[in-house]
Structure 1
C-alpha cells in the first residue's frame, strides 16, 4: 500500500493537481520544487504535505527528498532552450534516485514524441515518429527510462489548463480575460484541438500509479474531446461576461518574436500542434480502469478562472 510519495515540480500546474489529488486520498506527500515560498503558499496549510525546496540537478537534494517514499511523480519541466543539454541529465538523476530508494516512477509527458498524426487519433501502439528537435529529445528520454532498472509508467497528455497551470497557452489567453484587458489566442481560432483540465489529468495518473500492472508501459490520457479557439472564447464570454476582443497569435508573429527571444524561436517549432492537432485515444486506460476523468470545458474554464481571480 502506498503510504508516502514524492512529487517533483509540485509548484507547476500538473504537479500542483497531483499533490492535491494524492492528499485527497490520505497519502503523505513531499512536494518538491525550487521555490520554497511558492510551495509554502500552495501547500503550507496541508496537514499531510511536507514542502522541500531543492534543485533537480543536485542528486543530494533528490536523495534527501526521496527518503522512505514508495512512488516518485515527475512533473517538473525546464525551459525549451535547455532541453537538449539538460533533459537527459535531469532524467538520469531522477532514475538514479528511484533505483536507490526502490521507488516506482510516474512520468508526466506531453505528445511531442508522437510527431504528426495525419488526422487520426493516436494510441499507445502508434509508432512514435517525431519530426521536431523537441519531439526527438522526448523520445530519447523515453528510451532512457526503458533502459533503466526502475518500474516506470509514462503518461502522455494534451495541453494543460487548470488551477495554478501558469505556463500554458490557454493561461496566456485567460490572464488578460481575468484582468478584463484585450486578450490573444495562440493559433488559428477555427481549428479544434484537445486540452485537459489538470485535476482530471492528476486523477487519471494517480489511478494508474496505484496499480502495479500499469508500470512498464505508456498511457494516453485524453481530454473531453476537441474544442476550437472560437468555442473557448465563446465559453469564456458566457462564464464571465467578458466583452473585449481576442486576437490571434500567428506562427509568423511568434517567428518575428524569435528574432529577439531564443525561447520564442523554440516555440515556433511546436506551432504545428496549432495547425494539425494531435488527439489522443484513451481506450487502453478505459480497458484497465474505466472512464477517463472528464470535466467539461465550460466547467473546467469556470473553475480555472475562479482560481485565477482568487489568487491574483
Structure 2
C-alpha cells in the first residue's frame, strides 16, 4: 500500500489508526495544523513523519500529500464550523489528485442518513439529512464518491456511530468516567433509556487499515456499528459499578441544553443533533463484516474497564467480569 498519511492525525480516531500502523511496523505521515501538537502526540514514534498544512495555502496542502499512496482523512472542525467540512474536503481531494495519491478513506458519521427510516440502518438507507450538519457531511461524502466515479482517485467512506474510550473527551460517556473515578456527579444528555450504540475507539484503527487495503472497498460507503444496542443508563451504571461506587448522575433535557447553550457554543450546536437520542439510529454493518471477514469489537464491559484503567485510576478498578 506504499506510504500512508493520516490527515487530522491528532484526534482520537487518528491516534487509533496510528497505533494500528505502528503495530504493523508501517511508516506513516501525520498531518495537522500545529507542528507542536503533532510532536506532542507522535514525537516519540520513529515511524511517524510529521507535516503541517494550512487549508488556505494550496502549496502546503499539496506538500503534505506529496509522496503518499493512501490518505486517511479524519479532520474534525468545531461544531459551530461544520460549513467547513465540504470546503476542506475539496481542497484535500484536489491536492491529493494533483500529487498522485491513489486512495482516500474518509472517516464519516451517521449524520447524512437523517432520521432512521428502518432499524437497523444499512448502507442502502436513503441519505436525507434534515440538519445542517448532516447536509455538510453528505456534501463531504459526495465529493469523495464523485472523485472516485470520475476516476480521479479511489475513494471510500467509513461511517462510525458515537464513540468512547481512553482520551475521548467528546463523548456522551466521558463525564461518567470522570465522575466515577473522582467520586462526583456525572452530567448526561437525555433521554438515557433509548437504544444507542458506541464504538470503542481503539477498535477503529485496525478496521480502517483493513478497509483501505481491500480493493473492493472503494466507490461506496460502509457502516461500522458499535458493540450492540445498549442504553446510556446501562453503561453509566456499569462504569460506576466498576469502581465500586453507586451511580450518581443528572440528566439534561433538550430544553436544558438550549438554556445552557446560551453561554456555551458547543452545547448550543449540540441541540440540532439531539434527535439521535430521541430517535435512535442503529447501524447494520453486515456488509463490512462480509467484506473483511473479521471485525473485532471490544465488549462494552471490557471497553469500560480499559478506559478506566488508562485514565490513570487502574488501582481503583476491580477486575471482575
- Hey, what's the Cα distance between the residues in 1 that align with 2:312 and 2:31? 25
Please list, as runs of the form range in 1=range in 2, the aligned pairs for 1:3-152 lying within 5 A after superposition: 3-84=2-83, 86-103=84-101, 104-118=103-117, 120-148=119-147, 149-152=152-155
- Hey, what's the Cα distance between the residues in 2 that align with 1:123 and 1:186? 26
Task: State which drifts further: 117-126 or 15-24.
Answer: 117-126
- Hey, what's the Cα distance between the residues in 1 that align with 2:135 and 2:107? 17
**Aligned Cα RMSD in Å?**
1.9
- Hey, what's the Cα distance between the residues in 2 that align with 1:197 and 1:270? 21
Post-superposition CA distance 1:269-291 (Å, at most 9, x none): 10011112211101111111113
Please list, as runs of the form range in 1=range in 2, the aligned pairs for 1:90-239 lying within 5 A after superposition: 90-103=88-101, 104-118=103-117, 120-148=119-147, 149-239=152-242
Distance change >3 Å, CA 230–CA 91, structure 1 → 2: same
Distance change >3 Å, CA 35–CA 249, structure 1 → 2: farther
Q: Contact 1:5 / 1:30 at 8 angstroms: preserved in 2?
A: yes
Report deviation, 1:292: 2.2
What secondary structure does 2:173 align onto?
A: helix
Report deviation, 1:22: 1.4
- Hey, what's the Cα distance between the residues in 2 that align with 1:166 and 1:97? 31
What secondary structure does 2:62 align onto?
A: helix
Post-superposition CA distance 1:100-143 (Å, at most 9, x none): 22221010000000111145111111111111111111112222
Post-superposition CA distance 1:222-250 (Å, at most 9, x none): 11101111211121123222346111122
- Hey, what's the Cα distance between the residues in 2 that align with 1:173 and 1:57? 39
Structure 2 spans left out of the alignment, 5+ residues: 314-321
In the alignment, what sits opposite 1:302? 305
How many positions carry a matched residue from both structures?
309
Q: TM-score, normalised by structure 2?
A: 0.90
In the alignment, what sits opposite 2:318? none
